[in-house]
Amino acid sequence: MSNLIGDVLQEFKIQDKLVAVTTDNASAMVSLVKNFLKVLHVRCFAHTLNLIVKDSIKASAELNHLVGAVKKVVNFFHKSAKATAKLKSTIGDLGLPQLKLCQDVETRWNATLKMLRRYCELHRPVTGALMALGKSELIISDQKVEEMRHACECLEPFEEATEMMSTEKSTSLSKILVVVRQLQLYLTTEARKCQLTSILIKSLSERFPSPEENFSGAASTLLNPRFKRVPFSDNAARLRHEEKIINMMRPLFVADDKQEQSHAVEIGTTPPAKKQKSFMQSFVERVKKIDDAMP
């Protein structure tokens, strides 16, 4: 793999222009970037979210029990034309939309979410059809369905975040800190307390132990005019990153000033006029006032 990538970089003559590489979390890819490419490694955020949710679902005994119960119901209806017809007629009798039960896919956690969500929508007609078919042992209680709804509420923000970050039309590095902080905030303040919530919070903290310490991600957030300082909870880390950005930019401004002074001497006119105020300055001042007013 390393030889192949090396050949491609040489073919396109970009081996000296490589700044960062994004891969999934596979150990082989991590090792490749670290030991061969030796550049900034940005792990795919959507893939990391996927691992967080998959691991959390596996670790939640309560949710696994619910998933297993729903799978039995779904498999029963999918394997029996008679049962499917009965469910369809029951849905019609209740005046509900003609929806179908969704099957789970082991490798995709969002398929598990869709299966649970669809079952919650069809719980009444499914229960009626199972009773009519003499399959009461498959009936899931209302209490368990309520637990299922709570689990869906916990997982839906991760589904939304994955869709938001899975884009090919724009870079999304600056959103990572924002999304991580919002997920943590949702789970700790809005989501209902259950085993899955606790596991998700723990898994998020393990995968992103200190997101504000990563300079590349933090700098991109600070430089994004939509976010700037807002997502940061660690002021010390933010100030360090701001200082580093300023120090990186300072030589560029010094070089520009020297060029302007040199140009003014060459044309031999009057001494250089005082540098005009940038048209962006008023905007910068307004943003600063807003930032300073924030708690």
Specify if 216 maps to a domain: no
81 lies in the same domain as 8 = no
Cα(51)–Cα(30) distance, integer angstroms: 15
Residue 218 lies in a domain: no
Same domain, 131 and 252: no
- Regarding whether 34 and 5 lie in a shared domain, the answer is yes
Residue 270 pLDDT more than 50?
no
User: What was the pLDDT predicted at 212?
Assistant: 87
- Shared domain for 88 and 195, answered yes or no, is yes
Instruction: Check if the beta carbon of residue 113 is closer than 8 Å to that of residue 155.
Output: yes
Domain that holds residue 178: 45-166+173-209
Q: Which of 209, 234, 265 is the last residue of a domain?
A: 209
pTM (2 d.p.): 0.75
Percent of the chain with pLDDT over 90: 41
**Within this chain, do residues 182 and 148 fall inside the same structural domain, yes or no?**
yes
Torsion from C-alpha of 86, 68, 201, 40, nearest 10 degrees: -100
Q: Is 149 in the same domain as 235? A: no
| In a domain? residue 244 | yes
Query: Residues 78, 92: one domain?
Result: yes
Alpha carbon distance 9, 19 (integer Å) = 12
Same structural domain, 87 and 57: yes
Q: What is the pLDDT of residues 82-118, one digit of tens each?
A: 999 999 999 999 999 999 999 998 878 999 999 999 9
Query: 80 in a domain, yes or no?
Result: yes
137 with 195, same domain: the answer is yes
pLDDT digits (tens, 9 = 90+) for 39-69: 778 888 888 999 999 999 999 999 999 999 9
How many domains does the chain divide into? 3
| Mean pLDDT computed over every residue of the chain | 83
Let me know if residue 21 belongs to a domain.
yes
Cβ contacts of 156-165, under 8 Å, gap ≥ 24: 156/113, 157/182, 157/183, 157/186, 158/49, 158/52, 158/53, 158/183, 158/200, 159/110, 159/113, 161/49, 162/46, 162/49, 162/50, 162/110, 165/45, 165/46, 165/49
Is 246 a domain residue? yes
pLDDT tens by residue, 182-237: 899 889 888 788 889 999 999 999 999 888 888 888 888 888 888 878 778 888 88
Asked if 8 and 75 sit in the same domain, the reply is no
Same-domain status, 25 and 51: no
In a domain, 66, yes or no: yes
Please report which confidence band the pLDDT of residue 259 belongs to, taking 50, 70 and 90 as the band edges: low
Taking the C-alpha atoms of residue 218 and residue 72, their distance in angstroms, rounded to an integer, is: 46
Answer yes or no: is pLDDT of 166 > 70.
yes
Examine the domain organization and report whether 106 and 178 are in the same domain.
yes
- Is 214 part of any domain? no
Q: Are 255 and 226 in contact (CB under 8 A)?
A: no
